[in-house]
Amino acid sequence: MSFLRRFRTIAGEAGGSEIAEAALVLPIVFLIFLGIFWFGRAFNIYATINHAAREAARRAATNSCALCGNVDYSQNPDPIAQVVAQSLQASKLDPNQVSQITPNYCACGVASCQTSVQCATISAGQPQICVQFNVQLNPLATTPGSCGVSVAFRYPYQAYLPFTSLNLQQIYLPTQVQAKSEQ
């Protein structure tokens, strides 16, 4: 009973200034909450595409699998793209929105690097990722780097933040993963 009496006292003492202050502050608080939500979603998508790239690089680094026999993924990189597609679909992301980025890696065992390793050709209908085989993983180290594979791609992200310059801006979230070849 005392709660109702106290509420009536507080509600009866409220004037028009509290309503005006709430009208000014609530949109700002709402915009901050939207920003937190959309930043969290962007971070979630980045973690997902990074996980997909790690799984694809792990698959590309191994030249054999127990169920499919010895497979040369450099000749047919489609299973690597399928790993990316499955990982993205598991998180409700569209694999068809993936676009390719090409990192600059030197070929493994080459003393001077004039040209970078080209991306393997992925079939149409698969996520367009860049898979580079036989690349030097640590070219800046004093000891010779190891050989491996690189998987790189980017995924678009669009945030809805009204009344800001970021509203409906398309941002590409890139990922690039390296894995040491297992031979």
- Report d(CA 183, CA 181) in Å as an integer: 6
Look-up: residue for tokens 């030097």? 136
Q: How many domains does the chain have?
A: 1
Alpha carbons 54 and 179: distance in angstroms, whole number = 8
Top-confidence residue, 37 or 141: 37
Radius of gyration of the chain (CA): 25
Helices and strands (H and E) in the chain: how many: 3, 5
Q: Residue 3 domain-assigned?
A: no
CA dihedral of residues 163, 164, 169, 175 (deg, nearest 10): -140
Token pair 């980025």 is at which residue?
101
Decide if 170 contacts 97 (C-beta within 8 A): no
pLDDT tens digits along 44-102: 999 999 999 999 999 988 866 556 666 677 778 889 999 999 999 999 999 999 999 99
- Give the residue-averaged pLDDT of 172-179: 94
Write down the pLDDT at residue 76. 83
Per-residue tokens: 16: 């028009």
Instruction: Kindly tell me if the per-residue pLDDT of 179 is higher than 60.
Output: yes
Mean pLDDT value across residues 8-25 = 74
130 touches 98 (CB < 8 A): no
Q: How far apart are CA 183 and CA 176, in angstroms?
A: 22
**CA-wise closest residue to 157 among 176, 174, 171, 175:** 171
Domain limits for position 146: 16-180
Q: Is residue 4 part of a domain?
A: no
Mean pLDDT of 10-21: 70
The answer as to whether 52 is a domain residue is: yes
Q: Per the domain annotation, does 92 fall within a domain?
A: yes
The overall longest dimension of the chain from CA atoms, in Å, is 85
DSSP code string of 110-149: -SS-SSPPPPPPPPTTS---EEEEEEES-TTSSSPPPEEE
pLDDT surpassing 90 at residue 35: no
10 within a domain of the structure (yes/no)? no
- Threshold 0.75, pTM exceeds: yes
pLDDT at 5 (0 to 100): 80
Q: For residue 6, tell me if it sits in a domain.
A: no
Q: Is residue 24 part of a domain?
A: yes
Distance CA 176, CA 154 (A): 9
Domain membership flag for residue 1: no
